[in-house]
Chain A
Amino acid sequence: MLLCVWAAVSFGACFFARDLERLPLPGWGGSLGYWMASQGAVLVFIAIVVLYACVLNRADRRSAQPPTELRVGTD
Chain B
Amino acid sequence: MPERPAVLADPGVRRRYERRLYRILGLYVLGLLGFLLLMGWAEQQGLSRRWIGPIFLFSSVMVCAGIGIYSRTTDAEDYYVAGRRIPPFFNGMAAAADWMSAASFISLAGALYLQGFSGTEGQPGGLAYVLGWTGGFCLVAMLIAPYLRRMNLYTVPDLFEQRFGGRWPRVIAALAAVVCSFTYVVAQIYGVGLIASRLTGVQFEIGIMLGLGGVLLCSFLGGMRAITWTQVAQYIIMLLAFLIPVSWLAYKQLGNPLAPLVYGRQLAKIEALEQQLIDSPSERQVAAEFLRRSREYEANLNNVPQALVRERQAAHEHLRELRQRNADVASIVAATREVASLPRDAAAAREQWTRAIQENRERAAPLGGMPRHSQAFAGDPEGTPAEREAFHLSRLNFLALMFCLMAGTAGLPHLLIRYCTTPTVADSRTSVAWSLVFIALLYLSAPALAVLVKFEIMNNLVGSTFGALPTWIVQWAKVDPSLVSVSDVNGDGLLQFAELRLGADIVMLATPELGGLPYVLSGLVAAGGLAAALSTADGLLLTISNALVHDLHLFRKAASKVALGERRVILSKFVLLAVAMLAAFIAALKPSEILPLVSASFSLAASALLPAMVLGIFWRRTTRQAAVVGMLTGLAVTVYYLLSNSALLMAWLGFAPGPRLWYGIQPVSAGVFGVPVGFCVICLLSALTPRRPSQVLEVHS
Contacts and interface: CB of A to CB of B under 8 A. Distances in A.
Interface in B1-22: 3, 5, 9
B475 interface: no
Interface in A19-75: 20-21, 25, 28-31, 33-35, 37-39, 41-43, 45-46, 48-50, 52-53, 56-57, 60-61, 63, 65-68, 70-75
Nearest to B435: A49
Nearest to B88: A53
B606 to A, nearest CB: 15
Contacts of B135: 6, 10, 41, 45
A38 B440 contact: no
A57 to B, nearest CB: 4
Given A72-B151, A72-B699, A25 B264 contact: yes
Contact of B701 (A25, A61, A65): A65
A42 B444 contact: yes
A74 B174 CA distance: 21
Contact of B376 (A21, A52, A63): A21
A41 B131 contact: yes
A11 B391 CA distance: 16
Interface string B413-435: 00000000001111001101100
Nearest to A67: B425
A14 B117 CA distance: 10
Given A17-B117, A49-B432, A72-B152, A11 B437 contact: no
B52 to A, nearest CB: 33
Interface residues of A, number: 47
Contacts of A15: 395, 399
Contact of B130 (A42, A65, A74, A75): A42
B268 interface: yes
A45 B211 CA distance: 34
Contacts of A56: 146, 426, 429
Contacts of B443: 42
B150 A30 contact: no
A38 B130 contact: yes
A57 B375 contact: no
Interface of B: 3, 5, 9, 117-118, 127-128, 130-131, 134-135, 137-139, 141-142, 146, 150-152, 162, 260-268, 374-377, 381, 391, 395, 398-399, 402-403, 406, 423-426, 429-430, 432-433, 436-437, 440, 443-444, 447, 694, 696-699, 701
10 contacts: A34-B117, A34-B264, A34-B374, A41-B135, A48-B138, A52-B429, A56-B146, A57-B426, A72-B152, A73-B696
